């Protein structure tokens, strides 16, 4: 789906995504994958966010694996589902979502939501909200582990609000320090401390194209993908909540 600004309105252009499926599933087709594989799709995702934030002045607000779809014809990812997207006010802040933000905070799967989406008393929503979700997605892609997921939604939300995560050796022993530094720079509870899409593109990890030869086993990621499918098949999608 394309989003284009025409004077004071938006035009939505729909396109067919051949063989469309969440890009994380591509890695699960083999027994191992590498940081370079992750870089290929995450760099495309980041450039899409950079375009939205800086050219279209739009924040997506629902970045998660199911909304980053792989087009098999061009081997590239495409962002879908702009049902929660909103326009920016000023350089980086967006309009307050009100009741929609409340629905997000009560959504059964909050592991990709930024702290400001879970607590309306925190900072306004903005481009930095997408960057938090991007970091969670990158963390998952490199490890198969969800950084904030806990035994209950309340515990998960509390982990998000505190920014309580770590790079467990079992999952990150094969991951470069540059990748972990980028994630750390983005998973900042205070939005003003999170780096932008432009700064992320200038980070060491993107400058080196994720160059690391170690192979990452797909065991954990396959478990993550299966869990997400099971959860999403048993709940009402976020964009259908009214």
Q: Enumerate the active-site residues.
A: 62
Question: Is the torsion defined by CA of 196, 198, 202, 206 positive or negative?
Answer: positive
Contact between residue 207 and residue 25 where contact means Cβ atoms under 8 Å apart: no
Compute the distance between CA of residue 220 and CA of residue 216 in angstroms, rounded to an integer: 10
Q: Tell me phi and psi for residue 204, to 5 degrees.
A: -60, -40
Query: Are 10 and 3 within 8 A, CB to CB?
Result: yes
DSSP assignment letter at 98 = T
Q: What is the dihedral angle through the alpha carbons of 31, 39, 197, 63, rounded to the nearest 10 degrees?
A: -30
Q: What are phi and psi of 69, to 5 degrees?
A: -100, 140
Residue 12 is encoded by which pair of tokens? 């939505």
Rounded Cα–Cα distance for residues 81 and 104 (Å): 15
């Amino acid at each position: 789906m394309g989003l284009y600004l025409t004077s004071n309105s938006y035009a939505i252009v729909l396109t067919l995504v051949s063989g469309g499926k969440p890009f994380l599933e591509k890695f699960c087709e083999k027994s191992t994958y590498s940081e370079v594989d992750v870089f290929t799709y995450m760099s495309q995702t980041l450039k899409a966010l950079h375009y939205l934030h800086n050219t279209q002045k739009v924040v997506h607000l629902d970045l998660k694996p199911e909304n980053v779809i792989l087009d098999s014809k061009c081997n590239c990812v495409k962002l879908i589902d702009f049902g929660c997207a909103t326009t920016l006010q000023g350089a980086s802040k967006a309009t307050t979502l009100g009741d929609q933000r409340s629905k997000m905070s009560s959504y059964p799967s909050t592991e990709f939501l930024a702290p400001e989406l879970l607590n309306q008393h925190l900072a306004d929503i903005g481009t930095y909200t997408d960057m938090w979700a991007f970091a969670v997605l990158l963390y998952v892609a490199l490890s198969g582990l969800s950084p904030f997921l806990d035994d209950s939604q309340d515990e998960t939300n509390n982990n998000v609000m505190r920014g309580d995560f770590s790079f467990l050796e079992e999952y990150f022993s094969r991951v470069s320090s540059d990748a972990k530094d980028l994630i750390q720079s983005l998973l900042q509870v205070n939005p003003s401390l999170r780096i932008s899409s432009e700064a992320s593109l200038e980070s060491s990890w993107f400058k080196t194209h994720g160059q690391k030869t170690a192979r990452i086993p797909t065991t954990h990621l396959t478990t993550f993908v299966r869990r997400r499918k099971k959860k999403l098949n048993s709940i009402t999608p976020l964009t259908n909540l009214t």
